[in-house]
Structure 1
Amino acid sequence: MALKGNLTKARLAESMLQLIQTSGYSGTGLNAVIEHAAAPKGSIYFHFPDGKEGLGIAAVELAAKQFETLIAEAATSAGSAAEAARVAIEALATIVSESNFRLGCPVSVVTLEMGAESERLRQACAAAFEAWIVPTSALLEASGVEAKEARSLATVVVSTIEGAVIVSRAMQSTQPLLSAADVVAELINQRCKTAGGTR
């Protein structure tokens, strides 16, 4: 029973995540989530007693984990920090393109819509961005960049990717993301070389 309940809870969070990307947080109603997840009525308040806000937080946390996984896989497959950044950004470009530019970053969507309205959602979004900055920073440190600079550079990288996703969706073109991949990779290479790290 517990397993079934956990599966329902996960399915609700996944549905909320997908609907936020296509309809926005404000445009996503709980009935739509229930229908999308094919979940029993009443299951949202059973699993998320605080309703839509709690479900939104779960969706943001899920998005954070998915992108963390993307970063980890890129770091494992790439030969350098610059190449890892390029692999991750190109993977995002593929996701955005294959969705016909309907999918973007749900964390930025929730931040822009609800950051000033819900402190809990704002904190969840901040934690999500932090979950991407920290491993990126660690990857840069492993390439020889000093900790403070690595943190700063990682923040710039994540911010650049977020902006590029939005511009790509607006233009219905992956070019902004691919251009971001070029610039980010070159910037990382330069910083690693300056720090005496390996390319």
Structure 2
Amino acid sequence: MPSSSYPKGLATRQRLVESMLDLVQLHGYHGTGLNTVLARSGAPKGSLYFHFPEGKTGLGVAAVALAGDHFGELIGKATATATSPAAVVDALIAELKNILEASDYQAGCPVSSVALDAGSENEPLREACSRVYDGWIHAVSGYLSTFGVEEGGAHSLATSIICLVEGSLILSRAHKSTQPMDAAAGTLKTLLAASLAGAGA
């Protein structure tokens, strides 16, 4: 939901979170300064500490959660409209490729950026990233279970899917090419076909 849809106080908070998310996606957590966030959001400095008494850490946690919601929405939309697991893969990869290409390969996954940048030294941020990844894995696992994949296998496969997608995003940014994402999509389809065949789907 855009920040303009919120009541005034919450709209200011949402602008701060959205600005933090956009900047982290481009520059990483450590490369994003609070003054830059304030300038981008147009919010007064006092409002930042009103909404986020923990400062940058609290704002980062909220930005990671928002990133989780965004990708969760992509998963939900793909699983609701695609006609097969392979089509879900195609839809997700196509959307992520569009984001990368539109940003000239500048916009990576903000969750992985925060996890790599600050997760080892900032426990609240590490926990925020962990929660988001768990949410994505749970969503994918739940979708796989509808095809008869047993719970343990669905969780393992969902974890592998998230790993492949995240890794391919990093390689695609490094190479300025969507080829790693295309390769990941092919591998994902092979994994899914084998798992669903084993489940009798």
With the shorter chain as reference, the TM-score category is over 0.9
Equivalent position to 2:89, from 85, 92, 99: 85
Distance of 2:190 and 2:29 partners within structure 1: 35
The structure 2 residue matched to 1:40, chosen from 21, 37, 44, is 44
SS in 1 for 2:44: coil
Match of 1:55 among 47, 59, 70: 59
Dislocated runs of 4+, deviation >3 Å: none
Aligned-pair CA distance for 1:128: 0.6
Match of 1:15 in 2: 19
> Which of 188, 191, 195 is the matching residue for 2:192?
188
Q: Quick check: 1:90–1:177 contact (8 Å CA) kept in 2?
A: no
Alignment of 1:4-153 (within 5 A): 4-153=8-157
The 10-residue stretch of structure 1 (114-123 or 57-66) with the greater mean CA deviation from structure 2:
114-123
Structure 1 partner of 2:175 = 171
8 Å Cα contact 1:56-1:121 kept in structure 2: yes
Indicate if the aligned counterparts of 1:86 and 1:185 stay in contact, CA closer than 8 A: no
Deviations 1:27-83 (A, max 9, x none): 111000000111122111011011000000000000000000000000011112232
- In structure 1, the partner of 2:3 is none
Distance in 2 of aligned mates of 1:145 and 1:81? 12
Q: Percent identity?
A: 46
- The gaps in structure 1 that reach 5 residues or longer are none
SS of 1:102's equivalent in the other structure is coil
Report the aligned-residue RMSD: 1.0
CA distance in 2, matches of 1:179, 1:94: 16
Specify every segment of 5 or more residues in structure 2 that has no aligned partner in the other structure, as ranges.
Answer: 1-5
Higher relative CO (Cα under 8 Å, sequence separation at least 6) belongs to 1
Letter of the aligned partner of 1:31 in structure 2? N
Where 1:27 maps in the other structure, the secondary structure is coil
Letter matched to residue 171 of structure 2? V
